[in-house]
Amino acid sequence: MIADGVRAREAASDPAGTRRIDRIEIEVVDGLEYEAHSPLERDGVMRVGEPVERGGSGRGASPLSHFLTGVAACLLNQFIRVALAEGYPITFTGASARGEFRREPGAGFQRIKVEIRGESGAGGGGLDEALSQELVERAERLCYVHCTLARVIQMTTVLIVDGRSVVSRVAGPSV
């Protein structure tokens, strides 16, 4: 199912530019504490909040934490999907995202770096350089969040396998 999905997305062409829509509903729980969910994913409730030192209850991750989580999780999903679809000898173990931004009004993120961590198969070896580069490029191309953000800010993806950085790729308007 995953392999078919990856191949269908990569082969898809939408000359009419058909719009797809995703939606999130947010309900105030108390003050700066919210519950968010997609109407299509009723069981996927997210708790959003602010720390006590910023006037929140301390229950729930901040909106910026959710934003960076979405960036890293979307890209990690695509790495896992492509690796499963192709039978690549790698198991993904996690991701981290680091966003640099300015806090004054009107400012925003300037660059985001996502590290994707994996381990090679039991026999070692993992992916050669060409396959590693192809994996990064395909995962980025399939990630809506990465593609959207790379239009306006610098996005860096680092693939780390067995504790060693094997690919670092930068995309964005200034690249």
Co-location of 33 and 78 in the same domain? no
- The answer to whether the CB of 114 falls within 8 A of the CB of 95 is yes
Listed residues 12, 35, 61: the one ending a domain: 61
The number of distinct structural domains making up the chain is 2
Tell me, yes or no, if the pTM score tops 0.85.
yes
**Within-domain flag for 50:** yes
Phi-psi region of 145 (alpha: psi -120 to 50; beta: other; left: phi over 0): alpha
At 152, list the tokens.
């306006």
Q: From first to last of its 175 residues, what are the pLDDT tens digits of the chain?
A: 888 778 777 877 776 666 677 899 999 999 999 999 999 887 899 999 999 999 999 999 999 999 999 999 999 999 999 999 999 999 999 999 999 999 899 999 999 999 999 999 765 567 899 999 999 999 999 999 999 999 999 999 999 999 999 999 999 997 6
